[in-house]
Structure 1
């Protein structure tokens, strides 16, 4: 059921988008768009959510070439402070160099934030969720070397150090068997392989992108649990006419042994099955697929329609059709940086007894 605070947040996100487009009109971007070296965009943020109350901050995007023949690199930077004394700082990056023979991608971040927890598995369908606080720094780093026309291979390192606080007394999070409900360290490394035949990095209209990764989280690396996480992510793009794009995605994730609750596979969020809170359903295994249609409206404005299905389960052999979740939605796009086709997106997703708005930079997949 949609709460009044969720409804208010929805109006506020829409207002934030309109305000940003009013402040940063297309004419104000012309100087950056004509630059042969660097483009940038800065967006003030003011929003309200049930977890944070009022939040204030800013987000920015900068793109630039590292050499004359590589794709343009991108760095995003965001920071926000909430009236609940929460802090978010994140810096995702995509760096391309040596004629696109070498890629560095990942994220640096620090978060002092509140999240919702709905239990592990599919047994808490009607549970409204409980909040908890968490304080953690984050590192994600991928180093990829090209090994063929479309293939890249390399290594991924991931690290989070969670300190959990303000758990609800008598709630699901403090139940016996929920690993990491007070603290945990995720420190994992392993090989990754990618296939990339897209015609554009930030707004592809044709081609494939696929990734397979196998990460070992081990006490030898400073982790608090031993387990292995594998992921397979396959995306296909095709276009029947200019700027009318179909995008599809298949995502699979599996975890062995006993990961901490925050490292389980999470359904929902800004990228996977929009309409569900990220982590509304979580378990050791996940399978999801989604389809999106992207089309222009006028000038810098565009729109999308999307849908997806997915589920989580403890073991693949225990999967049941009753655990399948679905969501549908639509969104508005505004091109921030025309040269790089980087777009601001406002999405609204809806599923059975759930809905959510998302305001962020870049396509969902």
Structure 2
């Protein structure tokens, strides 16, 4: 597919033109204040900055990212770092998208709110369903898409949490551009769909800083039932597994990060709700949705230098991953496993909160992907 910039490229430091000298001076002071932030870890931070980027499905996009980082009661000893991120953008094609993500803890980490809400109105590339789909000549799908997924978890004992979760998804105004593919088989849900799932989740989490874990572990297992009685057009079940382990490698600034993730579904599932491979977090280098099916199994390993021993703010990472999809659990095949690998650079963005800005280049047998964001991929 060639190089695609799936995440927004931050232009806080480069290429931003401001008409008035006063605005330029204000921007310079703002950049210096952000880069040299030495406020205490307990201080809540709200950062707003412009972004620009490019993706094959959206063309050039410009937007605004807003980050809120805070500790409940400003207690950095007991409480964990919470984050709320809002990203909104428009493209040169007149498209629009917005994404709100939250990983927030209450005082003494009693409650954990983990979720996301997004709206997007732009086309996506659809390669088909299954592990053997071709990378050439994908179909362009236009739609309006809304998703709200939230977990409300209560601390049960020590680092164990349990609670409820809900997932609402709606896709409308769907059109597949298949003029040059007269024999194309339209997937389930091609006319649009609404799905609503309710379920439960169990989470183990002893991470102190979810944006940059030095040592700890995370395990989530959840199950969702989608039923017409809940307002869903389709009936199916989804089980999610996400396990992560972080360990220092000899020195505090060198970390080994491991992740194993899976999605396992049964029933009638619309194409937009299927498990996906690719994107800026898992299997970096593949287009998000390059492979999709009812079942997904993927893992990755990453070595991080945060920062280098000879630098106070610059670091790097190398990573590699394996993943595949299949229609059933029993049909997973070794020869259908895909690989992704790469590396990236890091810059210590919030010095007291130990949060890095990352830029990653993912390599696959089909091309490369470039990603820039705040916080680690997992």
Query: TM-score, normalising length from structure 1?
Result: 0.91
Q: Name which of 322, 326, 330 aligns with 1:309.
A: 322
Deviation at residue 177 of structure 1 after TM alignment:
5.8
Runs of 4+ in 1 over 6 A off after TM superposition: 12-15, 171-174
**Higher relative contact order structure (alpha carbons within 8 Å, sequence separation ≥ 6):** 2
Alignment correspondent of 2:243: 234
Question: CA, structure 1 residues 172+246, in 2 after alignment: closer, same or farther (shift >3 Å)?
Answer: farther
What does 1:109-188 align with in structure 2 at a 5 Å threshold? 109-170=118-179, 175-176=184-185, 178-188=187-197
Query: TM-score, normalising length from structure 2?
Result: 0.88
| TM-superposition CA deviations, 1:140-198 (whole Å, max 9, x none) | 21111111112111111111111143411257799446111120112111110011123
The answer to whether the Cα contact below 8 Å between 2:161 and 2:203 also exists between their aligned partners in 1 is yes
Alignment correspondent of 2:22: none
Deviation at residue 335 of structure 1 after TM alignment:
2.5
1:38 equivalent in alignment to 2:44: yes
Q: What is the CA–CA distance in structure 2 between the aligned matches of 1:173 and 1:312, rounded to whole Å?
A: 27
Deviation at residue 269 of structure 1 after TM alignment:
0.8
Q: Name which of 54, 63, 74 aligns with 2:69.
A: 63
Cα RMSD over matched residues?
2.6
| TM-superposition CA deviations, 1:41-85 (whole Å, max 9, x none) | 223112222211221111121112332453232211111001211
The answer to whether the Cα contact below 8 Å between 1:275 and 1:350 also exists between their aligned partners in 2 is yes
Alignment correspondent of 1:267: 277
Question: CA, structure 1 residues 237+255, in 2 after alignment: closer, same or farther (shift >3 Å)?
Answer: same
Q: What is the CA–CA distance in structure 2 between the aligned matches of 1:364 and 1:316, rounded to whole Å?
A: 26
SS in 2 for 1:248: strand
Question: CA, structure 1 residues 31+204, in 2 after alignment: closer, same or farther (shift >3 Å)?
Answer: closer
Q: What is the CA–CA distance in structure 1 between the aligned matches of 2:287 and 2:338, rounded to whole Å?
A: 12
The answer to whether the Cα contact below 8 Å between 1:131 and 1:167 also exists between their aligned partners in 2 is yes
SS in 2 for 1:322: helix
Q: Name which of 295, 300, 303 aligns with 1:293.
A: 303
The answer to whether the Cα contact below 8 Å between 2:38 and 2:351 also exists between their aligned partners in 1 is no
Q: Name structure 1 gaps, 5 residues minimum.
A: none
Q: What is the CA–CA distance in structure 2 between the aligned matches of 1:260 and 1:153, rounded to whole Å?
A: 28
Q: Name structure 2 gaps, 5 residues minimum.
A: 17-26
Question: CA, structure 1 residues 171+281, in 2 after alignment: closer, same or farther (shift >3 Å)?
Answer: farther
Deviation at residue 355 of structure 1 after TM alignment:
1.3
Alignment correspondent of 1:19: 14
Q: Which of 224-233 and 32-41 deviates more?
A: 32-41
Alignment correspondent of 1:76: 85
SS in 1 for 2:108: coil
Q: What is the CA–CA distance in structure 1 between the aligned matches of 2:62 and 2:15, rounded to whole Å?
A: 14
Aligned residues: 360
1:258 equivalent in alignment to 2:253: no
Deviation at residue 250 of structure 1 after TM alignment:
0.6
SS in 1 for 2:264: strand
Q: Name which of 290, 311, 318 aligns with 1:280.
A: 290
1:195 equivalent in alignment to 2:204: yes
Q: What is the CA–CA distance in structure 2 between the aligned matches of 1:26 and 1:47, rounded to whole Å?
A: 23
The answer to whether the Cα contact below 8 Å between 1:17 and 1:346 also exists between their aligned partners in 2 is no
Q: What is the CA–CA distance in structure 2 between the aligned matches of 1:120 and 1:88, rounded to whole Å?
A: 25
| TM-superposition CA deviations, 1:12-39 (whole Å, max 9, x none) | 9778476289966554444573474311
Q: What is the CA–CA distance in structure 2 between the aligned matches of 1:81 and 1:33, rounded to whole Å?
A: 33
The answer to whether the Cα contact below 8 Å between 1:191 and 1:215 also exists between their aligned partners in 2 is yes
Question: CA, structure 1 residues 73+50, in 2 after alignment: closer, same or farther (shift >3 Å)?
Answer: same
| TM-superposition CA deviations, 1:339-360 (whole Å, max 9, x none) | 3322222111011122111122
1:246 equivalent in alignment to 2:227: no
